[in-house]
Chain A
Amino acid sequence: MDIIAARDLTVGYGRTEVLCRVGFSIPEGRITAVVGVSGSGKSTLLKTLAGLLPPIEGGFEFDGRPVDYNSEASLSRLYEKIGVLYQDGALLNGLTLYENVALPVRMQYPQLPEDVVGDMVHAGLAQVEMADSAAKFPAELSGGMRKRGALARALVLNPDLVFCDEPSSGLDPITSRRLDDLLLELKERNRMTLVVVTHELRSIDRVADRVLLLNEGAIRFAGDYADLAGSGDDFVRTFFLRKDHHDDA
């Protein structure tokens, strides 16, 4: 079953269209990589799917129901079921890591006793191997730790779908690999659906089940990662040819 189904979706900023009348679906329980060159609209698409940027035209269904940007209830329903890992983590600098992870729990369920909140936070931090850093502020954490902490915050309410915006960017290969392994583990163990926006071809190779390749306002390829090799599209082949250069390096 598809968790997201978009039809004739046009996204952009103001009157500037970044993606024009695209249609695609995101299947449940799999990792979909949204890829493309810089400026192809990956992050803009993510913002629209995460309920942050209203589409210019068209729309999409989340879990079988259309998302209405004019309805607070519709957006709240979307926010309850998604988690987002932002490019730089976007942890709140004034709060400790513990408080950052506790934030969505405290805000969504203010009636929960503090010891229950504490257990949830510690379980979330343990999942990303950050339990020892709970008392630290974001400024005291490395880039990789901030991303893992932000992932713990995105996962703490056990969402159905997690969006990851450039999870590997700015990370060394070892940390990047650990993060990829973590995403795979989430998919396998929690049956979670993940949408990973990236242009790191190695990372796509490791984690992606499906690929959405964007270019010049359109979707150039949408399908299983395994089917990419058989694509006759010149752009698809050129884009993924770069993978060989990366691997050789």
Chain B
Amino acid sequence: MTETPLAASSPRTILLPRRMRAADVVSALGELRRASPDAPLAFDFKDVEDFDASTLAFLDHLTGSKTVALPTNVPEPLARAGRTFARRPGARWPEEEQRPPSGTRTGRFLRGLADRFLGHVKVLGAFLAMFGDEVYHLGRYVKERKGVYPGETWNQMYFMGYRSFPIVCLLMFLVGVTISITSANQLKLFGAGLYIADLVGYAMLRELVPLMTGVILAGKVGAAITAELASMTVLEEVDALRTMGVVPERFLMVPRLIAITFVVPLLVAMADVVGIFGGVVVARAMFNMTPTEFLKEMINTVDWADFGWGLLKTVVFGWAVVVGSGFKGLTVGRSAEEVGRATTESVVLSVTLIIVIDCLFAFVIY
């Protein structure tokens, strides 16, 4: 770098070298740091022929700087590269920074709120459209018996049912124990220990087993579905299926929907048994109630309708989990990091759907 002596009123100009690299940029930045409003500084680019990204970043920095005169004599190739560099993703455009935000503060807030709301409505619309599509594809598969890989439904049943069975049973047993202990203390106060059977039976069959099974399915099955489908989307496997004449929404989703429909009743039945067994254990320990007494008392209160409603609810939850997680998996972007994000979002979506549907059921059942 060479310095050009200039008149006192003019800024001090630094002539940049022909071949400019990061070391020259560091040196120029040092000069810039030392500059003050009393001793202004300018950089002359006229000799710069060979440059790299550091030069472009420096040029970009100078363009946005308020303490230095604009760069002068910038050769056309460098200026062209500089313009492209300034348009890089994440770059802040000077004119954007200077443009005052339009509208009042309240107006901007409301506009932002409306944009966000419309965004959510759009996603909801896409989700409902996918739900409708899946019902159509399931109907066509039942009618035509094609479009699904042979044996895939059994694979899914094995994964969703057999592989989920231990965790569902363990957690439902613990939930049965917890609800029994919690209520036992209150019942003891009123000398109504016998009613622990009614309480546990009713709560488990109608509410806790369906809800907890749904949540477990969301965490285990839903997350796995999203992770698998999102990876397939990112790796172009979904595109490959489409160009093979295969409809991915049928090929990938229908086996999972059929599997969940058949697996859930078995899981719920087992979970009911295990959950109630948790209650039996606590009743025996705290009230010295025999299993026969417990079951006799429980049967007085609960009936098959309670079991049926619980079963129906869980099947609907299962469908919500499969469609919700499939939606997240198939609408993922193209980068690997989006797979993780989609998986997290799918669990949140599935649990939200489960709770909303449960609330709607509460209005119907009670």
Q: Interface on A for B, CB 8 Å cutoff?
A: 47, 50-52, 76, 79-80, 82-84, 86-88, 90-93, 103-104, 106-108, 110, 150, 153
Residue of A nearest to B245 (CB): A79
Q: Is the CB of B235 within 8 A of A90?
A: yes
Min distance, Cβ B123 to any Cβ of chain A, angstroms = 15
Known: A106-B149, A107-B147. A86 touches B242 (CB 8 A): no
7 contacts between A and B (CB under 8 A): A51-B243, A80-B245, A83-B243, A86-B240, A90-B236, A107-B149, A107-B245
Whether A79 and B244, one on each chain, are in contact in the complex, defined by CB atoms closer than 8 angstroms, is yes
Residue of B nearest to A103 (CB): B244
Given A106-B149, A106-B150, A110-B146: A87 and B236 interface contact (C-beta under 8 Å)? yes
Q: Mark B137-156, 1 if CB is under 8 A from A, else 0.
A: 00000000111011000000
Measured CB to CB, the nearest residue on chain A to B242 is A52
Inter-chain contact total with CB atoms closer than 8 Å? 59
Within the assembled complex, what's the spacing in Å between the Cα atoms of A88 and B235? 8
Partner of A90, one of B149, B150, B240, B251: B240
Q: What separation, in Å, do the CA atoms of A28 and B240 have in the docked complex?
A: 23
Contacts of B232 in A (CB 8 A): 92
| Contact present for B242 and A51 (CB under 8 Å) | yes
B237, B241, B245: the one contacting A76 at CB < 8 Å is: B245
Query: Shortest distance in angstroms between A60's beta carbon and chain B's nearest beta carbon?
Result: 16
CB-CB under 8 A from B245, the residues of chain A are 76, 79-80, 104, 107-108
Chain B interface residue bracket vs A: 10 to 19
* CB interface residues, B 224-264, toward A, < 8 Å: 232, 235-237, 239-246, 251
Q: Report yes or no: A50 in contact with B244, Cβ–Cβ below 8 A.
A: no
Interface of B toward A, CB cutoff 8 Å = 145-147, 149-150, 232, 235-237, 239-246, 251
Give chain A residues whose Cβ lies under 8 Å from the Cβ of B149. Answer: 103, 106-107
For A52, give the chain B residue with the smallest CB separation.
B239
Q: Across the interface, do B237 and A90 meet the contact criterion of CB distance under 8 Å?
A: yes
Which has the most chain A C-beta neighbours within 10 Å: B239, B242, B243, B245? B243
A106 to B147, CA, bound (A): 9
Taking A103-B149, A107-B147 as contacts, is the C-beta distance between A84 and B243 under 8 angstroms? yes
With A and B bound together, what is the CA distance between A50 and B236 in angstroms?
13
* Cα distance, A103 to B146, chains bound together (Å): 12
A90 to B242, CA, bound (A): 12
The smallest C-beta distance from A108 to any residue of chain B, in angstroms, reads 5
Residues in A neighbouring B146, C-beta threshold 8 A: 107, 110
Minimum C-beta distance from B243 to chain A (A) = 5
Of all chain B residues, the one with the shortest Cβ separation from A107 is B246
The complex places the Cα of A51 from the Cα of B232 at a distance, in Å, of 18
Shortest distance between the CB of A121 and any CB in chain B (Å): 14
Tell me which of A87, A92, A104 contacts B237 (CB under 8 A).
Answer: A92
Contacts of A83 in B (CB 8 A): 243
Is the beta-carbon distance between A82 and B243 smaller than 8 angstroms?
A: yes
Closest-by-CB residue of A relative to B232 is A92
Which B-chain residue is minimally distant from A87 (CB atoms)? B236
- CB distance B243 to A52 under 8 Å? yes
* A-B complex: 8 closest residue pairs judged by Cβ atoms: A90-B240, A79-B245, A104-B244, A90-B236, A84-B243, A86-B236, A110-B146, A107-B246
In the bound complex, CA of A92 to CA of B155 (Å): 15
Please report the C-alpha to C-alpha distance between residue A47 and residue B242 in the assembled complex, in whole angstroms. 11
CB pair A50 B150 closer than 8 Å: no
CB distance from A55 to the nearest CB of B (A): 16
Tell me how far the C-beta of A122 lies from the nearest C-beta in chain B, rounded to whole angstroms. 19
**A73 CB, min distance to chain B CBs, angstroms:** 12
Residues from chain A with a CB closer than 8 A to the CB of B242 are 51-52, 79
Residues of B within 8 A of A51 (CB): 242-243
Q: How far is B238's CA from A90's CA once the two chains are assembled, in angstroms?
A: 8
In the complex, which residues of chain B have a beta carbon less than 8 angstroms from the beta carbon of A107?
146-147, 149, 244-246, 251
Shortest beta-carbon distance, A167 to chain B, in Å? 14
Q: From B146, which residue of chain A is reached at the shortest CB distance?
A: A110
Whether the Cβ atoms of B150 and A79 lie closer than 8 Å is no
| Most chain B beta carbons < 10 A, residue from A50, A76, A82, A107 | A107
Known contacts: A106-B149, A106-B150, A110-B146. The answer to whether A86 contacts B246 by CB under 8 A is no
**Which residue of chain A has its CB nearest to the CB of B147?**
A107
Complex: A202 Cα to B237 Cα, angstroms? 28
User: How close is A77's CB to chain B, nearest CB, in angstroms?
Assistant: 10
Chain A's nearest CB lies how many Å from the CB of B118?
A: 16
Residues on B with C-beta less than 8 A from A90 are 235-237, 239-240
Bound state CA distance, A153 and B241, in angstroms?
11
What separation, in Å, do the CA atoms of A92 and B147 have in the docked complex? 16
**What is the CA–CA distance of A163 and B147 in the complex, to the nearest angstrom?**
24
Q: In the complex the two chains form, is B244's CB within 8 Å of A88's CB?
A: no
Bound state CA distance, A79 and B248, in angstroms? Answer: 14
Instruction: List 12 extra interface pairs beyond A106-B149, A108-B245, CB under 8 A.
Output: A50-B239, A52-B242, A84-B243, A90-B237, A90-B240, A91-B240, A92-B240, A92-B241, A103-B244, A107-B149, A107-B246, A108-B244
B147 shortest CB reach to chain A, Å? 7
State the CA gap A91–B232 with chains docked (Å).
9
Assembled-state Cα–Cα distance A150/B241 (Å): 12
> Within the complex, what minimum Cβ distance (angstroms) separates B60 from chain A?
20
**Chain B residues in 8 Å Cβ range of A110:** 145-146
For A52, A76, A90, A150, which residue has the most chain B Cβ atoms within 10 angstroms? A90
Cβ distance A129 to chain B, nearest Cβ, rounded Å: 21
Q: Return A44 CB to nearest CB of chain B, in Å.
A: 12
Chain B hits for A52, CB < 8 A: 239, 242-243
